[in-house]
Amino acid sequence: MAVGWHRPTKLVIDTQAIKENVGNEVKRMPQGTELFAVVKANGYGHGAVQTAKAAIEGGATGFCVAILDEAIELREAGFTEPILILSVVDVSYIDLLLKYNLSVTVATQEWLEQAIEQLNHIETQTPLKIHIKVDTGMGRIGFTTPEAVKQTVELVQSTQTLDWEGVFTHFSTADEKDISYFEKQTHRFQAVLSVLVELPRYVHVSNSATALWHPDNVGNMIRFGIAMYGLNPSGRALPETYPLKPALSLVSKLIHVKELSAAEGIGYGNTYTTTENEWIGTVPIGYADGWLRHLQGFSVLVNGERCEIVGRICMDQCMIRLPKQTAVGTQVTLIGQDHGEEITMQMVADKLETIHYEVACTFSERMPREYK
């Protein structure tokens, strides 16, 4: 996809905010704990490489990604820190895992047996680094019983081709007030650990929510994701345990301004009609950029004033109602601060009836990322 460098719409990423968010969490961590920055999905839409650099400056010692290609992107950008791929990678790509020195998630014994068979035919002295995933109640991937984990560990230890680097689980309700299911998952993971004679280098359960609201949970590594970008993992359900600084702003400029008389329709489907003389501004952003149609009726900031989006959002443009005649070229803030007012990503998520994770990941590659 072509990047729109020659129009005024852009995402502005404050890498200092990312550095500070990571640094503040590092200060809270128990001694001997490491923080891996989660930069999957292009750094939650913020840009994987640049956010990874900021995370390292803040004190991160490794990275987590979702897919093999994301890990390769970091290696080819020059990062030498540990990288864990959190999802399943097809065994046919073991040569790439070894080539790029990557750690991979093991979710079934069948996968492990296939991997061992492949490794036995590869001429290398380097073992494959693995993290065993335990499904304690998320229902995605992983082993579900202590016995299955123990059996898999015994298989791993019977060969020199594998390096058992970690064991982990993922909590589904660490960001909720009701901690009963969280405690159920915790007990299940502890039951797994209790049957293991020894533990690997990394034992990790803490996503951002667990790190913020359950810091005493078992483990010596934190997978720091959404909070690194300054966003509350719970949305509005739980207060932040310390201030998180949002790293992303979305800005554009007015490219057209006109005064329309009463009874004029705006946009596809004529879903908005002027009720009096109104100043209408056009902003060069639309649903192809991730500024979705359901944001009709939402507001943006122009000179610190909230201006409603009127008419349906188009693929490449949207229209806003201005309080008065405003010059073409005036900045429009869609997410961020302007003259003491602020529009947060959580507000956008509320309007879309979703979560801010999805909002951040929806922004398309057509919008350039500018780092400061």
Annotated binding residues for substrate, as ranges? 140, 315
Q: What is the DSSP string of 48-108?
A: HHHHHHHHHHHT--EEEESSHHHHHHHHHTT--S-EEE-S---GGGHHHHHHTT-EEEE--
Q: Burial code of 119-151, b = ≥16 C-beta within 10 A, e = fewer?
A: beeeeeeebbbbbbbbbbbeeebbbeebebbee
In a 10 Å sphere around its CB, with 0-12 CB exposed, 13-18 middle and 19+ buried, how is residue 218 labelled?
Answer: middle
Q: Regarding beta strands 278-283 and 83-85, do their DSSP bridges make them parallel or antiparallel, or are they unpaired?
A: unpaired
Which strands sit side by side in the sheet containing 62-65, from one edge to the other? 202-204, 162-168, 128-133, 103-106, 83-85, 62-65, 34-38, 221-224
Sequence ranges of the binding site:
140, 315
Q: Which residues are catalytic?
A: 40, 268
